[in-house]
Chain A
Amino acid sequence: TQLLEQSPQFLSIQEGENLTVYCNSSSVFSSLQWYRQEPGEGPVLLVTVVTGGEVKKLKRLTFQFGDARKDSSLHITAAQTGDTGLYLCAGAQTSGSRLTFGEGTQLTVNP
């Protein structure tokens, strides 16, 4: 059983469209992170959220942490081909515990 469930697993859209990726769990997390990974490289951190209900914006990306700190979403507005990659959420159940990663959402933005 996966602690963090990501959906959808695969997403293929056209440039300019909007999209939302979800990260859900039945467990409470003290913090949650989103990473993006491109082929042949390691994941790179996009954002960390720590407060229930928190919303963070990073240019065209909007991240939300659920009020109960069990889920998170990533919304991309007007997707660009450069947004293509594997998006991974990762959470820690306590501040001292190690990060658990979801299975990832493979996003392809077509020109």
Chain B
Amino acid sequence: GAGVSQSPSNKVTEKGKDVELRCDPISGHTALYWYRQSLGQGLEFLIYFQGNSAPDKSGLPSDRFSAERTGGSVSTLTIQRTQQEDSAVYLCASSFFPSAAGELFFGEGSRLTVL
């Protein structure tokens, strides 16, 4: 596809279950970001992948959160033992440029609801 693709678009889960969210970035983009957004709020940084460099995990809120990026392309964000406060929209973005002055292209997000 031409844009950043995220799946699932909606996920409802029970407290304590694990969830996996997938992001397929734009082909050729070396930088990939995960952000979290609560209703009507700004974006909370979670993790940043750039090429083969070690990812910047400084935004992950707890050790229940992890992410990987395989082959420099698709990324998976995993949340273990979900809690109600994890409910949010999880946005993935990719960029061709490694520097932060480059445009971020966002997917439509995965809306997670933890009951």
Residues of chain A whose beta carbon lies under 8 Å from any beta carbon of chain B: 6, 30-31, 33, 35, 40-45, 48, 50, 86, 88, 90-92, 94-104, 106
Q: Give every chain A residue within 8 A of B20 (Cβ-Cβ).
A: none
Shortest beta-carbon distance from A89 to chain B in Å: 9
Sampled A-B contacts (14; CB under 8 Å): A30-B100, A31-B100, A33-B104, A42-B91, A42-B107, A43-B43, A50-B101, A88-B42, A91-B100, A92-B101, A94-B100, A96-B100, A99-B33, A101-B44
Query: Which one of A45, A95, A102 lies within 8 Å of B103 (CB-CB)?
Result: A45
- Give the contacts of B23-64 with A (CB-CB under 8 A): 33, 35, 40-45, 48, 56
Q: How many residues of B contact A (CB 8 A)?
A: 24
Shortest beta-carbon distance from A107 to chain B in Å: 12
- Are the C-beta atoms of B48 and A96 separated by less than 8 Å? no
Q: Kindly report which residue of chain A lies nearest to residue B99, judged by CB atoms.
A: A95
Shortest beta-carbon distance from A4 to chain B in Å: 8
A44 to B33, CA, bound (A): 15
- Are the C-beta atoms of A43 and B106 separated by less than 8 Å? yes
- Are the C-beta atoms of A41 and B101 separated by less than 8 Å? no
Q: Give every chain B residue within 8 A of A91 (Cβ-Cβ).
A: 100
Nearest 7 pairs of A and B residues by beta carbon: A42-B106, A92-B100, A103-B42, A101-B43, A31-B101, A95-B99, A98-B48
A94 to B99, CA, bound (A): 9
- Give the contacts of B52-102 with A (CB-CB under 8 A): 56, 91, 93, 98-101
Q: Kindly report which residue of chain B lies nearest to residue A88, judged by CB atoms.
A: B42
Query: Which one of A33, A41, A45 lies within 8 Å of B108 (CB-CB)?
Result: A41
Query: Which one of B40, B100, B107 lies within 8 Å of A99 (CB-CB)?
Result: B100
Given A101-B42, A106-B40, A44 contacting B101 (CB threshold 8 A): no
With A6-B42, A48-B103, A99-B45 known, 7 other A-B pairs at CB within 8 A are A31-B101, A42-B107, A42-B109, A91-B100, A96-B98, A101-B35, A101-B44
